[in-house]
């Protein structure tokens, strides 16, 4: 009998270097254990054919179907001028629809012999359209011969697992590789404590792995999925529970505002009363700041719900208590904007001398990478002496040269734009760990908050302040109805004539190197995928065409910081009618006079991003209008996504839609942790119950045994699932 491969055995040894290389490069699978955790996306039943009727465009698909007919055509072409070119067209059916397979040239011989009418096979390829019909060009295929012992064995009897695959490695090849490593499943160490597993009636881990890859019944699949979901939810929640436990042991300086200090003076100056939500969230924050271990709070609020005001009151409370507060913004434009709005809100309270001085004022400084040397020296001195109670900056705040007198609170704006190391470096500048407030305008469903920000307490601002106007949103189908686009530009003119301003947002800047264009693309790609519209081209066309005579300017990320700031100032001052920009305006740009936004190629943006962008209009007393321009056909998934954005202003509802459409794996912020997602089976939206229960169980386990000394298998799983980098990501969150 062959030796059982160990879980940490490299795939190269078990499957050979060629297959292992493709698995590593395209699927991120390196060891036997990685491959065992590469679960089937779905299962096909032998007696039941796939629905060809609902194949997604432009995606790699695997279908099980029967050959209806096959025809060989000859044709003349530049390569075969005498009519010697050959094209094989095979029609396959599954009862719900038909699909054409096309093979050319020398590639026709093998399928011509094998794909005879009545043959059943699995086919894999990329769905494209030719002459208005769906087709697969040169698909890979695997014949299903019901009588061949090997095939039946390989495809696990009645249920055929269909794996997430790539063009370089079809699903059935992954299936065959799994048959090779499956005996290794018996080596899998079970991370769930026995009492928990038995109490919830879950199968063992080796059994779950066998059943997920070689199920004999649908009940096998359900049992395996239930178990594997618990593993993912539980191990992740244990990591977060340990983080919360460790944080609760850290010391921090309690920061309580003085009854007659700068916060009280600021509140007296406010020309409006706080919303109920702002008052409630502020109370939660003040209660956290008064304790002797660090606050870790996530403040979610809809675009325009007044998060900056809540954060400013928290910063003033810390200044009152003799400490300093730092606000970290993702871009220079946003740092400058926060500095302007905070100094305006504070008035003479921002023009103070020493901290806690009798005149109840403090200094508010800004620190960005592009500042001149003298201004920078001044700001650094104010921070080191404590003269400045509040600093607002970009990642320039993190540099070694920046020293604080007594850093008491770190506020991170737009959390998803910061790498973990950056936040952590700033927190490390306090004499003791400072309190942390993380703000995001991207609404996060409760389950995601439990999964991604499980070590932060959450506060939600869901009311808009009085005086904010509703935003009407409409999809503009530019290809089907070009006159709708013409009308969109008329609406922009009408708003400008009323004295308002407009944004036009494009996905690209437009001065990219030609290298990007030079990539080889197939003729189908050329026809269907023009490059996304660019700021520089669009601004020029609008200024010459439909918006001629209006003051049109551009704003994008590759401009010099001073130029960006100058454009924003002119726009804010009303000296620019139409700002054509990239998503650099997505967060925090506040121009109440801007009432209309046209988003070009809106289908190229994510749901949350569109919602964020839209929040830039309707910030004053006049109603806002957002037009989502797209050339995608009406039936496409992209258009359905845009219709969803147009139909609701509820960010929480949209964030659910966004998550349902993206792969759940994206949720854990791979961009920040740099590793593959650990969620393969858990669907963050659908499995709310599992996540909530796993969180409770994890808290119990960690409270009883913080170092997991009595649960070595759980420790091992924690180390494997949360490799070092991810552990740090969770720690520093």
pLDDT tens-digit profile of 258-293?
A: 888 899 999 988 888 888 889 999 999 999 999 988
The closest of 36, 62, 30 to 212, measured between CA atoms, is: 36
Using DSSP's 3-state secondary structure scheme, residue 630 falls into strand
Residue 625: is its pLDDT beyond 70?
yes
pLDDT band at 668 (very low <50, low <70, confident <90, very high): very low
Q: CA-to-CA distance for 732 and 722, rounded, in angstroms?
A: 14
332-346 vs 561-572: helix crossing angle, rounded to 10: 50
Cα 488-492-497 angle, rounded to 5 deg: 145
Instruction: Find the range with the poorest average confidence among 250-264, 364-378, 445-459.
Output: 445-459
- What is this structure's pTM? 0.63
Sheet architecture: strand order including 407-413: 363-367, 388-393, 324-328, 407-413, 435-440, 296-301, 457-461
Indicate if the pLDDT at residue 662 is higher than 60.
Answer: no
Gap between the Cα atoms of 687 and 231, Å rounded = 13
Alpha-carbon torsion angle 657, 417, 300, 696, nearest 10: 80
If you average pLDDT over residues 356-384, what whole number do you get? 82
Nearest CA to 639 out of 649, 648, 629 is that of 629
pLDDT of 223 reads 93
SS (H, E, C) 385-409: HCCEEEEEECHHHHCCCCCCCCEEE
Quote the CA–CA distance of 93 and 324 in Å, as a whole number. 70
Per-position DSSP letters for 411-461, written without gaps between them: EEESGGGS-HHHHHHHHTTSSSPPEEEEEESS---HHHHHHHSTTSEEEEE
Give the pLDDT confidence score for residue 720 in this predicted structure: 67
The alpha carbon torsion through 728, 326, 447, 647 (nearest 10 deg) reads: -130
Average pLDDT score over residue span 91-111: 86
**Secondary structure of residue 553 in the 3-state scheme:** strand
Tell me how far CA of residue 149 lies from CA of 155, 157, 387, in angstroms: 10, 10, 81
Confidence of residue 4 (pLDDT cuts 50, 70, 90): low
Residue 465's pLDDT band (boundaries 50, 70, 90)?
low
Say if residues 730 and 296 touch (Cβ distance below 8 Å): no
Per-residue pLDDT of 594-621, as tens digits, reads: 999 999 988 888 887 888 888 888 877 7
**Dist. CA 382–CA 368, nearest whole Å:** 15
pLDDT computed for residue 685 by the predictor: 63
Is the Cβ–Cβ distance between 558 and 511 less than 8 Å? Answer: yes
Q: What is the pLDDT of residue 280?
A: 93
The end-to-end CA distance of the chain, in Å, is 48
Mean pLDDT of 61-81: 79
Neighbours of 652 (CB within 10 A): 15
Whether residue 168 has pLDDT greater than 70:
yes
- CB burial of 32-62 (b: ≥16 within 10 Å; e: otherwise) equals bbbbbbbbbeeebeeeebbebeeeeeeebbb
Q: Which residue has the higher pLDDT, 731 or 534?
A: 534
pLDDT above 50 for 677 = no
C-alpha distances (whole Å) from 570 to each of 68, 413, 553 are: 66, 24, 10
Q: Is the pLDDT of residue 725 over 50?
A: no
Local structure of 96: helix, strand or coil = coil
Of 349 and 290, more confident: 290
Pairing type for strands 363-367 and 159-162 reads unpaired
Mapping DSSP to helix (H, G, I), strand (E, B) and coil, where does residue 559 land?
coil
Nearest Cα neighbor of 729 from 328, 123, 323, 236 is: 236
Annotate 188-200 with DSSP letters as a single string. Answer: ----S-HHHHHHT
Weakest-pLDDT range from 121-125, 474-478, 556-560, 682-686: 682-686
What's the mean pLDDT in 107-114?
88
pLDDT reading at 315 higher than 90? yes
Q: What average pLDDT does the chain have?
A: 79
Q: Quick check: helix, strand or coil at residue 356?
A: coil
Answer yes or no: are the C-beta atoms of 232 and 678 closer than 8 Å.
yes
Pairing state of beta strands 85-93 and 98-104?
antiparallel
Report, in angstroms and rounded to the nearest whole number, the Rg of the chain calculated over CA atoms.
Answer: 30
The candidate with the shortest Cα–Cα distance to 182, out of 194, 171, 190, 174, is 174
As a three-state string, the secondary structure of 151-187 is HHHHCCCCEEEECCCECCECHHHHHHHHHHHHHHHHH
- The pLDDT-based confidence of 150 (bands split at 50, 70, 90) is very low
Collect all residues with Cβ–Cβ distance below 8 Å to 652 and sequence separation of at least 6.
443, 445, 462
Q: How far is CA 650 from the centre of its chain?
A: 18
Q: In a 10 Å sphere around its CB, with 0-12 CB exposed, 13-18 middle and 19+ buried, how is residue 426 labelled? A: buried
């Amino acid at each position: 009998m062959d030796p059982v491969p160990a879980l940490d055995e490299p795939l190269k040894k078990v499957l050979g270097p060629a297959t292992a290389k493709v698995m590593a490069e395209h699927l991120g699978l390196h060891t036997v254990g990685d491959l065992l955790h590469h679960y089937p996306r779905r299962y096909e039943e032998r007696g039941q054919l796939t629905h060809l009727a609902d194949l997604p465009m432009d995606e790699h698909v695997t279908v099980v179907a029967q050959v209806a007919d096959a025809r060989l055509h000859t044709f003349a072409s530049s390569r075969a001028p005498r009519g010697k070119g050959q094209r094989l067209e095979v029609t396959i059916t599954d009862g719900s629809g038909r699909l054409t397979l096309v093979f050319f040239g020398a590639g026709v011989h093998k399928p011509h012999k094998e794909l005879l009418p009545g043959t059943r096979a699995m086919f894999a390829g990329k769905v494209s359209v030719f002459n208005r019909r769906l087709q697969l060009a040169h698909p890979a295929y695997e014949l299903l011969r019901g009588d061949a012992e090997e095939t039946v064995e390989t495809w696990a009897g009645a249920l055929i697992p269909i794996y997430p695959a790539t063009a370089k490695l079809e699903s059935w090849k992954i299936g065959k590789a799994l048959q090779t490593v499956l005996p290794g499943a018996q080596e899998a160490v079970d991370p769930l404590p026995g009492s928990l597993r038995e109490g919830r009636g879950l199968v063992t881990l080796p059994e779950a792995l066998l059943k997920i890859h070689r199920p004999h019944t649908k009940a096998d699949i359900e049992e395996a999925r239930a178990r594997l979901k618990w593993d993912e939810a539980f191990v992740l929640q244990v990591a977060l529970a340990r983080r919360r436990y460790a944080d609760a042991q850290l010391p921090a300086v309690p920061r309580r505002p003085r009854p007659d200090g700068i916060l009280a003076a600021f509140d007296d100056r406010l020309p409006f009363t706080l919303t109920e939500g702002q008052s409630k969230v502020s109370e939660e924050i003040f209660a956290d700041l008064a304790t002797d271990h660090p606050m870790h709070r996530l403040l979610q609020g809809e675009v325009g719900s007044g998060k900056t005001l809540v954060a400013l009151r928290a910063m003033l409370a810390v200044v009152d208590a003799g400490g300093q507060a730092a606000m970290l913004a993702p871009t220079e434009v946003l740092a400058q904007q926060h500095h302007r709005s905070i100094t305006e809100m504070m008035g003479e309270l921002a023009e103070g001398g020493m901290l806690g001085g009798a005149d109840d004022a403090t200094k508010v400084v800004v620190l960005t990478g592009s500042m001149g040397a003298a201004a920078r020296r001044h700001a650094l001195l104010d921070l080191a002496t404590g003269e400045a109670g509040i600093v607002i900056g970009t990642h320039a705040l993190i540099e070694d040269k920046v020293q604080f007198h007594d850093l008491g609170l770190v506020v991170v704006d737009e959390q998803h734009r910061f790498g973990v190391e950056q936040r952590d470096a700033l927190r490390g500048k306090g004499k003791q760990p400072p309190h942390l407030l993380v703000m995001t305008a991207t609404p996060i469903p409760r389950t995601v908050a439990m999964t991604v920000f499980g070590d932060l307490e959450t506060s939600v601002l869901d009311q808009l302040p009085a005086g904010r106007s509703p935003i009407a949103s409409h999809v503009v189908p530019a290809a089907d109805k070009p006159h709708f686009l013409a009308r969109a530009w008329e609406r922009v003119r009408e708003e400008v004539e009323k004295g308002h301003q407009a944004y036009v947002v494009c996905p690209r800047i437009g001065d990219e190197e030609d290298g990007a264009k030079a990539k080889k693309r197939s003729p189908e790609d050329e026809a269907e995928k023009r490059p996304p519209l660019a700021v520089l081209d669009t601004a020029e066309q609008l200024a010459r065409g439909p918006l001629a005579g209006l003051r049109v300017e551009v704003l994008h990320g590759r401009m010099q910081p001073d130029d960006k700031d100058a454009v924003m100032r002119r726009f804010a001052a009303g000296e620019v009618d139409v700002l054509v920009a990239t998503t650099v305006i997505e967060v925090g740009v506040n121009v109440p006079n801007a009432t209309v936004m046209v988003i070009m190629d809106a289908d190229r943006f994510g749901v949350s991003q569109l919602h964020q962008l839209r929040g830039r209009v309707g910030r004053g007393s006049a109603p806002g209008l957002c037009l989502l321009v797209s050339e995608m056909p009406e039936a496409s998934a992209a258009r359905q996504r845009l219709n969803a954005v147009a139909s609701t202003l509820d960010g929480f509802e949209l964030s659910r839609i966004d998550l349902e459409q993206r792969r759940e794996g994206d949720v854990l912020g791979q961009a920040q942790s740099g590793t593959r997602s650990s969620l393969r089976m858990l669907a963050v939206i659908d499995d709310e119950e599992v996540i909530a229960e796993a969180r409770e169980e994890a808290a119990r386990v960690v409270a009883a045994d913080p170092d997991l000394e009595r649960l070595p298998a759980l420790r091992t799983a924690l180390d494997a699932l949360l490799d070092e980098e991810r552990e740090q990501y969770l720690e520093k969150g």
